[in-house]
Amino acid sequence: MSCNHVSRRDFMSVAAAAVPALALGYRQKSTPAGRNIIFILSDDHRYDFMGFMGKPSFLQTPNMDRMAKEGAHVQNAFVTTSLCSPSRASILTGLYSHKHGVVDNQAPVPGGLQFFPQMLQQQGYETAFIGKWHMGHEHDDPRPGFDKWISFKGQGNYYNPVLNIDGERKRVEGYNPDILTYYAVDWIKQERQKPFFLYLSHKAVHGMFEPAKRHLGKYENEKIEYPSSMADTEENYRGKPRWVREQRNSWHGVDYMYHGQMDYETFYKRYCETVLGIDDSIGRLMQTLEALGIADSTLVIYMGDNGFCFGEHGLIDKRHMYEESIRVPMLAYCPEMIPAGSKVGDLVQNIDIAPTLLDAAGLAVSGDMDGRSVLPLLKGKAIPWRDAIYYEYYWERNFPQTPTMHGVRTDRYKYIHYHGIWDIDELYDLKEDPNEMNNLIFEPGQQDRIEKMNKMMYDWLERTNGMTIPLRRDRGFRAVDRKPE
């Protein structure tokens, strides 16, 4: 059965039809050498857009809900840089952006970096990468660490993508998340004597959002709740840095979003409908593991590469350090070791993925990694853990409205420090002000806290060799493009 043929039909009917055939086949073994592992990554999926989170109230994600109910929900998962390529590099290396060097979506991957799948491969794992890579510029060539490679250039297309399949390119008809899932299921079903690691990396739900045809219009008549901080009022911007309000009328602002290509409500609903394709993918993978008899022993982790704003503070997109941008969904499922219904409240980051998956495979975690294994937390163990996370984002010429920033977030307070602009920093009490409306930066009673968090930030940068602002070559810049009228 070819992928081209499958993708022309309704994907869910294909999935349902496939289960009995799988159940009649072999039972795949997880060998003593290591546990089978699946890591599913989505693009721009914010932390609270899952059905069980209740926002938006109409969104239905039964498979994500099941992972949370029967596995673990990591409630405070964050990225170190809220941007596709830097986040993906941090996932693969366990390093902060200023250490791995992939600081924007155009920066090439520096030589000498080691990705954790290479370590798994060296220790006897069979590995596969299927989906969006989006690091090292636009090429889709196979990268180190993977026995199986299926990817596409840059952002790829939602429909009828051109895929690089182990070095050979071909156009495949159908919907991107369905196609990637088909290939992932086909690879999992292959009989093998080694444990496997699958990295399924979705394009969805990156803008411009295109849901599967079976989901298009599902939420067309639903009522949207606008964030309280979206209105262009003095109250909303009192105490806010000037760049935030000025970004409203830009590519990443609600008053001129994506240069006016889509209105806000359509934008919001298409996003929700596109999320459903990711949920279907999760369900299809879980269904396959059950049919093969390895669902209880396989570790499945789902995560987003960064968050996404829908009008908070007048912004869309990500990059900045507000909650909707830096928080991501994270779910883990493995009945053999994760108690059902677990809720992990500790501060977890994308740099923790590499050490976690190495730990799950029974391998020693590299001492060079900035992250730590969250496996003990997923198992319900109380262990000493970090009391703060750190954030960095570096100004991009192509999106100049958002400045370079660094910051610190504890379980209650967030401090954001801007570099290279004449503007104010920000401090928020997230317990009393979860929507980040009341900047405490000038409050007399908060000056000691500000000084302490500023010191924490610079101590972190010094400790991790991050005191130099990365500078990258211009991409397509010409002086004539900036010629004044």
Q: How many helices (H) and strands (E) does the chain have?
A: 14, 18
Q: What is the pLDDT of residue 14?
A: 35
Instruction: Specify if 447 maps to a domain.
Output: no
Decide the pairing of beta strands 37-42 and 196-201.
parallel
Q: Which of 232, 276, 243, 300 is nearest to 71 (CA)?
A: 300
Q: What is the pLDDT of residue 257?
A: 86
Q: What is the pLDDT of residue 372?
A: 97
Q: Which of 387, 386, 445, 436 is nearest to 416 (CA)?
A: 436
Q: How far apart are CA 166 and CA 147, in angstroms?
A: 9
Instruction: Specify if 421 maps to a domain.
Output: no
The DSSP letter of residue 367 is T
Are residues 45 and 282 in contact, defined by beta-carbon separation less than 8 angstroms?
no
Q: How far apart are CA 212 and CA 193, in angstroms?
A: 36
Instruction: Specify if 356 maps to a domain.
Output: yes
Structural domain of 218? 36-387
Instruction: Specify if 477 maps to a domain.
Output: no
CATH of the domain at 112: 3.40.720.10
| Number of Cβ atoms within 10 Å of the Cβ of 478 | 8
Q: How far apart are CA 240 and CA 440, in angstroms?
A: 10
How many domains are contained in the chain?
1
Q: How far apart are CA 327 and CA 347, in angstroms?
A: 10
**Side chain identity, residue 256:** Y
Cis peptide bond prior to 208, omega within 30° of 0: yes
Phi, psi of 175 (to 5 degrees): -95, 130
Residue 334 in tokens: 């493995």
Are residues 10 and 282 in contact, defined by beta-carbon separation less than 8 angstroms?
no
Cα radius of gyration rounded to whole Å, the chain: 22
In tens, the pLDDT along 74-122 reads: 999 999 999 999 999 999 999 999 999 999 988 888 888 999 999 999 9
Q: How far apart are CA 344 and CA 377, in angstroms?
A: 7
Is the pTM higher than 0.85? yes
Instruction: Specify if 358 maps to a domain.
Output: yes
Q: What is the pLDDT of residue 267?
A: 93
In tens, the pLDDT along 151-187 reads: 999 999 999 999 999 999 999 999 999 999 999 999 9
Q: What is the pLDDT of residue 168?
A: 96
Q: What is the pLDDT of residue 16?
A: 36
Residue 94 in tokens: 């366990």
Instruction: Specify if 212 maps to a domain.
Output: yes
Instruction: Specify if 435 maps to a domain.
Output: no
| Interior angle at CA 164, CA 158 and CA 168, nearest 5 | 140
Instruction: Specify if 402 maps to a domain.
Output: no
Run means of pLDDT, 10 residues per run, the chain, 485 residues: 39 34 33 80 98 96 98 98 97 97 89 94 97 84 96 95 97 98 98 96 96 98 95 95 94 87 91 98 98 97 98 96 98 98 98 98 90 97 97 93 97 97 96 98 98 98 96 64 50
Are residues 328 and 57 in contact, defined by beta-carbon separation less than 8 angstroms?
no
Q: What is the pLDDT of residue 12?
A: 38
